[in-house]
């Protein structure tokens, strides 16, 4: 087995074994607390620019298949695990995790103390790191890290969205409710959208149209949608000015009653709507990444265990008076949802589609359909 090393920008250093492709990779190191779902995590566009450390110790035991993907390619910059499973076993499995990483040129490391890495990030905060299988000189590695860009102020959305306009036709097969009748049309602003979001929308909407965020409102309205959804995506929302400007135009037209449709945001889309409404965003110390975050719906008192993946947060103190906080994270009381008191607009910071994670919050897509069709009638 080939040797590999991990260096964080504050000097934290570990050595282990190479996982996946050989070479070097740099990104912001974050930890994910999901027990399963490593394939969905690897292909989630929200992880662009980041190296993911899995807290669950054994990874790769059920292999890789062609169904459990959240985008058309692997998105993480690197992968850190405690132990790679020596075998994989699942009726859908087509290849091993090792083969998957090598095929997609993803550099990773195994055999390191992921508990120590996680504790370090919780205390110090997420930071840039480098994984290398070729260079073990600390001064050389440190110099490369210092020259690498920060995730703050960097537009990562432009690196993951699809430039094409297309219709999504694949429904969600598992957990499908035959009592739900798909109606209407939803347009998804792709800031790095996960396939699971599109699959869930297809359960509720007859047509789901996906567009890039660099699109005019006039072009969107040509599709005659009943709803517009701003998707998840990677990194800092502030540099994504084109999506924020689009959201501002939509909100302005809703206020002037020139539009009759519903608007929703998920994760980065939630932050983009917050900025468009005049709020501010800030970077969390180590972010929320995993499938075990309890979120309370302040309107109903209901608590959902949710899937999350974000490093930035809307500052609730900066929101205008006509915006209501609807959800909070019970770990740190950060806002997890908001709704306009007058307009048909709401958003959530968590991932109602999961992929991976619990399905507690899938009903959110039903809420979106309700406000879209209510506004159209």
Q: Which single residue is written with the structure tokens 């900066």? A: 318
* pLDDT tens-place string over residues 346-368: 999 999 999 999 999 999 999 99
1 confidence band (pLDDT: 50, 70, 90): confident
Provide mean pLDDT across the span 342-349. 98
Say whether pLDDT at 375 is over 60: no
Instruction: Please indicate whether residue 321 is annotated as part of the active site.
Output: no
pLDDT band at 175 (very low <50, low <70, confident <90, very high): low
Hey, what are 45's tokens? 């566009």
Catalytic residue among 270, 310, 351, 372: 351
Task: Give the chain's largest Cα–Cα span.
Answer: 66
Token pair in block for residue 341: 């008191």
| 191 belongs to the catalytic site | no
What is the C-alpha separation between 235 and 255, in angstroms, rounded?
29
Catalytic position from the list 5, 53, 267, 372 = 267
Is 369 in a helix, a strand, or coil? Answer: helix
The verdict on whether 267 is a catalytic residue reads yes
Per-residue pLDDT, 374: 83
Q: Residue 170: which pLDDT band, with cuts at 50, 70 and 90?
A: confident
Q: Could you give the angle at the alpha carbon of 271 between the alpha carbons of 208 and 261, nearest 5°?
A: 40
List of domains in the chain? 3-147 (3.50.30.20), 157-376 (3.40.50.880)
Task: Kindly give, in sequence order, each residue whose CB lies less than 8 Å from that of residue 366, ignoring residues fewer than 6 positions away.
Answer: 180, 204
Q: Model confidence over 214-250: pLDDT tens digits? A: 999 999 999 999 999 999 999 999 999 999 999 999 9
Under the banding of pLDDT at 50, 70 and 90, the label for residue 377 is very low
Residue 123 Cα to chain centre, angstroms: 23
Residue 182: per-residue pLDDT = 87
Residue 268: C-alpha distances to residues 22, 43, 347 (Å): 32, 17, 10
């Amino acid at each position: 087995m080939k040797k590999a090393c991990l260096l964080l920008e504050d000097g934290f250093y570990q050595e282990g074994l190479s996982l996946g492709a050989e070479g070097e990779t740099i990104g912001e190191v974050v930890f994910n607390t999901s027990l399963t779902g490593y394939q969905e995590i690897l292909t989630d566009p929200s992880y662009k620019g980041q190296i993911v450390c899995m807290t669950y110790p054994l990874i790769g035991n059920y292999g890789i298949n062609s169904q459990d993907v959240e985008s058309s390619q692997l998105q993480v910059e690197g992968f850190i695990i405690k132990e790679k499973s020596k075998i994989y076993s699942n009726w859908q499995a087509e290849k091993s995790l090792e083969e998957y990483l090598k095929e997609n040129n993803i550099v990773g490391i195994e055999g390191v103390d992921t508990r120590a890495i996680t504790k370090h990030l919780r205390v110090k905060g997420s930071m840039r790191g480098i994984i290398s299988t070729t260079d073990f000189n600390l001064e050389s590695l440190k110099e490369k890290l210092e020259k690498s860009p920060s995730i703050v102020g960097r537009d990562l959305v432009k690196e993951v969205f699809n430039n094409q306009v297309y219709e999504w036709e694949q429904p969600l097969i598992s957990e499908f409710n035959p009592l739900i009748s798909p109606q209407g049309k939803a347009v998804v602003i792709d800031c790095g959208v996960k396939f699971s979001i599109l699959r869930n929308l297809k359960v509720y909407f007859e047509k789901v149209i996906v567009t890039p965020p660099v699109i005019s409102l006039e072009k969107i309205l040509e599709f005659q949608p009943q709803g517009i959804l701003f998707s998840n995506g990677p990194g800092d929302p502030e540099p994504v000015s084109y999506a924020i400007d689009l959201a501002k135009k939509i909100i302005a037209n809703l206020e002037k009653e020139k539009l009759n449709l519903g608007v929703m945001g998920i994760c980065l889309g939630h932050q983009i709507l917050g900025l468009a409404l005049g709020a501010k965003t800030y970077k969390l110390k180590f972010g929320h990444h995993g499938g075990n975050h309890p979120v309370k719906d302040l309107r109903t008192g209901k608590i959902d265990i949710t899937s999350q993946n974000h490093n930035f947060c809307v500052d609730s103190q900066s929101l205008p008076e006509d915006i209501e906080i609807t959800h909070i994270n019970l770990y740190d009381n950060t806002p997890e949802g908001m709704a306009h008191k007058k307009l048909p607009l709401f958003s959530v910071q968590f991932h109602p589609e999961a992929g991976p994670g619990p399905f507690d919050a899938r009903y959110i897509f039903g809420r979106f359909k309700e406000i879209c069709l209510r506004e159209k009638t």
